[in-house]
């Protein structure tokens, strides 16, 4: 259950591009795209930890 929620949150963040992700995506080459995805994963992880503790 939590894995599906995590995937949905990750995809939403990847599409919406919240603050730090927009800046990271503007970096040159593939580095910006990779950092954008890593940032989405980190934010998703934080959200899932908060959900799990509730």
- The residues, ordered by sequence, that sit 6+ positions from 5 with a Cβ below 8 Å of its Cβ are 48, 51
* Cα–Cα nearest to 44, from 17, 18, 6: 6
- What is the separation, in whole angstroms, between the first and last Cα of the chain? 15
What pLDDT band is residue 20 in, cutting at 50, 70 and 90? confident
Q: Which residue in 30, 1, 16 sits closest to 40, CA to CA? A: 16
pTM for the structure as a whole: 0.87
Question: What token pair was written down for 32?
Answer: 């910006």
Task: Say whether pLDDT at 28 is over 90.
Answer: no
Mean pLDDT of the chain: 93
CA 50 to chain centre: 15
């Amino acid at each position: 259950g939590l894995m599906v929620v995590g995937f949905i949150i990750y995809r939403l963040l990847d599409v919406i591009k919240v603050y730090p992700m927009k800046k990271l995506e503007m970096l040159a080459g593939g580095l910006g795209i990779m950092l954008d995805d890593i940032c989405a994963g980190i934010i998703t992880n934080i959200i899932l930890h908060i959900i799990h503790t509730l």
